[in-house]
A and B are shown apart, each in its own frame.
Chain A
């Protein structure tokens, strides 16, 4: 059996490559320098680039173009200008006085990403990637969306740049976020419903990747979170770092000191990484990510990757993944479509393992309560995603000193969630 095997044409160079390798942290083996093959985009052991070969050249080209653009003053100036004049940056940092009084404890500030054009932080990244697509001469844009916020932001920038736009969205999410589907269509985008799997964000990403692998030569995939293969987790983070840069300067101006904690919700994790990053070096600032605790602890009932997830590879990246014993990806549940995803950005996995950030769940119910509370104390209706961060400040602020400050990132506004809020809150 299997006696004569076709030998490798390059057995020798392979053997020496294996011998050359030393210690490594990535369980799959990053190649040490000196080899011709290099794994790119690692956060500790996490990240990397796990995609079919057809996409590799496009990812490498995107990485090259992004590195060039980063150093190009004109590119940065144009992005800054669009963020200021089109998206509405800087966003305010607002002292939530009545919420602070109600909870009794830490002073609560809200970073108002919900006030941006299109209603969420997503536009920061979309403008950046649209400028890159223009640089690369790619005029067809595809994107995935869960809650619809990234889809709307993508449709918006495509209208602004005159790009063709196709957005993939799970049909379950289309049902939950009907209004956003209409907004995308109004903006001239084609919304393609995805019927496979759980018909949510994960399945929309699969379908977007199938489109990309087919049309890679003409199409840019405008991925909407710090997920996927390198360079996306790094690039999307960089486009959102402006949130933390502003917040840090704003809190220093308002209070003359840094906050004790920053709280943000984490689906893929783009708004969280965006506000966390500027504070990474401020070791005394606690960084708190809030995952979707859903409606229970069993697999399939939540989207808390750090509670019941384990390292694995999904959709291009090595990170924590909700999966079964055979490595099949689990279904997830959250009242908020934007957090309803079985994996998490690889940099979050590393921030968690290294202890720099902590991650906690908030349940559907807690998020709904947080949403109502913020609406009634401050007149701000947060998106259900952001309401998970509010739920955590409700638990945390009362245990903190009056002299301490906490910033909550209100990543998006709740207009899109009226249907689901109406159904769940029964206020009529």
Chain B
């Protein structure tokens, strides 16, 4: 079932497509789903990833050297969809989508069996045509909510979001951090004032403890740079390494949620 968030928390896994190559990305995505990722964000590499830290910048450069384009990512999604029912989100900067054309993008994405998209540099004010095209194709539009967003912006973000809301845990670019900021919980609480949609928390989550902690207050945790770094460090055995990383990442939270389930059944 697409975009379901059954676990506590569910894992939303990000990969930069085409790093190290598209065939390997496909294996990685399937391995990630096999290891427990419920939603996969298929990252479209972009030449100017200004919201990303060094790990995803390097991955994007590697993918672009191989000529990976948005059309390839959509084709990849189509192939993954044949083998899996997991949620698939296109995660991109605006320009590659604009170049393809918003209407065409939505049509091809729907045909590929994609569930929705998140465009990093498209705030709600600029999204009308995009929203209309995506609605026509019954595709989810996920927007970022930031710790700097005042309440009136959170309200607008909630209004146009479908699928889930992506709460950015802290100011900054993507990349692993040692500590989950204290205000992540508060951030999610603020978002929930305006929406009943599931909330996924992202930016900086890389350890089993952080992952489990997010489960206490959000439906899902997004893990990106830590997965991309695992891919970078395990040349030739990327898919297994990512599966192993995900199993370790989720072990603490699964143990504690198993306990919760046990208590419930008693």
Contact = CB atoms under 8 A, between A and B. Distances in A.
B144 to A, nearest CB: 4
Interface stretch (A21-29, A277-285, A347-355): A21-29
A2 B2 contact: yes
Interface string A291-328: 00000000000000000000011111000010101111
A5 B138 contact: yes
B98 A312 contact: yes
A57 B50 contact: no
Q: Counting chain B CB atoms within 10 Å of each CB, which of A10, A40, A197, A214 scores highest?
A: A10
B160 interface: yes
Contacts of B95: 312-314, 321, 323, 327-329
A55 B182 CA distance: 20
Nearest to A330: B47
A37 B171 contact: no
A40 B140 CA distance: 25
B129 A328 contact: no
B241 to A, nearest CB: 26
A2 B115 contact: yes
Interface in B137-173: 138, 140, 143-150, 153, 156-164, 168, 171-173
Contacts of A5: 2-3, 115, 138, 140, 162-163
A63 B195 CA distance: 28
A37 B135 contact: no
Contacts of A327: 70, 95-100
Contact of A39 (B3, B47, B125): B125
A52 interface: yes
B132 interface: yes
B48 A3 contact: no
A4 B1 contact: yes
A189 to B, nearest CB: 22
B163 A37 contact: no
Interface stretch (B116-124, B227-235, B255-263): B116-124
A369 interface: no
Contact of A328 (B96, B115, B145): B96
A9 to B, nearest CB: 5
A100 to B, nearest CB: 43
Interface string A2-45: 11111111100111011001001001111100001111100000
B131 interface: yes
A8 B128 contact: no
A203 B47 CA distance: 10
Interface stretch (A75-83, A127-135, A205-213, A375-383): A205-213
A18 B126 contact: no
Contact of B48 (A9, A53, A329): A329
Interface string B174-194: 000000000000000000000
A293 B145 CA distance: 42
B108 interface: no
B46 interface: yes
B47 A37 contact: no
A64 interface: no
A402 interface: no
A2 B114 CA distance: 8
Most buried by B among A15, A48, A57, A315: A57
B71 interface: yes
B251 interface: no
Nearest to A51: B121
Contacts of A314: 48, 95
30 contacts: A2-B115, A3-B2, A4-B1, A5-B3, A5-B138, A5-B163, A6-B4, A6-B198, A8-B161, A8-B162, A10-B159, A10-B160, A18-B131, A18-B135, A28-B98, A28-B126, A28-B127, A29-B128, A31-B128, A53-B149, A54-B144, A57-B148, A196-B57, A203-B48, A206-B50, A210-B53, A213-B51, A327-B96, A327-B97, A328-B64
Q: Which 6 A-B pairs have the closest CB atoms?
A: A327-B99, A29-B128, A29-B129, A326-B69, A327-B96, A54-B146
Given A52-B144, A56-B149, A313-B121, 13 more contacts: A29-B128, A36-B156, A37-B156, A50-B126, A51-B121, A54-B149, A56-B153, A203-B48, A206-B50, A213-B171, A314-B95, A325-B99, A327-B97
